[in-house]
Amino acid sequence: MFEAMSGLNRPEEEADWQQFSSMKQVAWKTGTSYGGRDAWAIGVTPRYVVGVWVGNATGEGRSGLTGVGYAAPILFDIYSLLPDVPWFDQPYDELEEVAVCRQSGHKASAICDEVDTVYIPRTGIATAVCPYHRIVHLSQDGQYRVNSSCESVSRMQERSWFVLPPAQAYYYKNYHVEYQALPPLKPGCEEDQSRQIAILYPEHQAVLYLPKGFSGEREKVVMRATHARSDATFYWHLDDVYLGETRQIHQMACLVEPGNHILTLLDEDGNRRSILFEVRK
């Protein structure tokens, strides 16, 4: 935990801290309150714990006030004045070397193709192996996924592929440009498409409290979804009322009255996903 927290990106003036022997290793975390009313930073070394709070005593918000922008620079200034201390010792008696999937962070399975060997707590030995790498069958040219309904086994090639559910893939690929979605299914092949759609917001059985804008009017709900295929088209329905369609960026804004509602999405192949949610005043 301390190693992970010490490796976080520091404020701009500390960005290259590892290049300087005078810069101290610190496990640290920041936070910012809603509306920029105040912010904080906490740092830990084997000998010192330093906390920094910034804000207005009146609780008045300030635009741009963040923990990493205001509190963290003060935190590292304080640590630069404190004596050097050795870093935490690794508790090797409580750790075990384990092969870990580089892409998922789970224990590596037999088909994970990129593996790192790391120390983990022995209590983690019993955890499941990577559930996201799976064997996929591709056409000879590698352009399509195939199965026995449309391709002979002798013409298939097997490949290990890192496959995330649509909702996880939506966020993961924003920070991992190397993530590759599955190739499209070859025309004429049959496959269960029931998990192709994910509704990101609102979540199933969520309760929403809608804020009012500066005009005093209720604001729209911005609903978001994603599909396993980047070229999919969504058709949005709220309580059986058609709202419209989206492509590529799947967001739909609409005014929603207080009460219980059913949001339903369909794609052009007829796959469907529905969730229930409630809006309160």
In a domain, 158, yes or no: yes
In a domain, 188, yes or no: no
Instruction: Tell me the per-residue pLDDT of 48-82, one tens digit each, with 9 for 90 and over.
Output: 999 999 988 777 777 888 888 888 889 988 998 99
In a domain, 185, yes or no: no
pLDDT at position 118 is 92
Q: N- to C-terminal Cα distance for the chain? A: 41
pLDDT at position 65 is 86
Is residue 157 within 8 Å of 164, Cβ to Cβ? no
- Work out the pLDDT band at 166, boundaries 50, 70, 90: confident
Total tally of structural domains belonging to the chain: 3
Instruction: Tell me the per-residue pLDDT of 99-122, one tens digit each, with 9 for 90 and over.
Output: 999 999 999 999 999 999 999 988
- State the average pLDDT over residues 130-136: 93
- % of the chain at pLDDT higher than 70: 89
Instruction: Tell me the per-residue pLDDT of 195-251, one tens digit each, with 9 for 90 and over.
Output: 678 999 999 999 998 777 667 777 888 999 998 888 889 999 999 899 999 998 999
pLDDT at position 3 is 60
pLDDT at position 51 is 96
pLDDT at position 15 is 45
Residues 205, 157, single domain; the answer is no
- State the average pLDDT over residues 133-162: 90
Higher local confidence (pLDDT), 210 or 39:
39
- State the average pLDDT over residues 249-262: 92
Q: Which of 52, 81, 110 is the last residue of a domain?
A: 81
- State the average pLDDT over residues 152-181: 90
In a domain, 147, yes or no: yes
- State the average pLDDT over residues 5-33: 61
Instruction: Tell me the per-residue pLDDT of 137-151, one tens digit each, with 9 for 90 and over.
Output: 999 999 988 888 888
Tokens for 153, please give them.
Answer: 């086994």
Residues 124, 73, single domain; the answer is no
pLDDT at position 17 is 40
Tokens for 236, please give them.
Answer: 């949005």
pLDDT at position 184 is 85
In a domain, 190, yes or no: no
What's the chain's average pLDDT? 85
In a domain, 207, yes or no: yes
Q: How many other C-beta atoms lie within 10 A of the C-beta of residue 116?
A: 11
Q: Which of 59, 81, 103 is the last residue of a domain?
A: 81
pLDDT at position 18 is 45
Q: Which of 50, 81, 112 is the last residue of a domain?
A: 81
Continuous H helices in 28-86:
72-81
In a domain, 73, yes or no: yes
How many angstroms separate the CA atoms of 57 and 55, rounded?
7
Is residue 196 within 8 Å of 227, Cβ to Cβ? yes
Whether 193 shows a pLDDT value over 60: the answer reads no
27: phi then psi, degrees, rounded to nearest 5: -85, 125
Domain, as residue range, for 48: 2-81
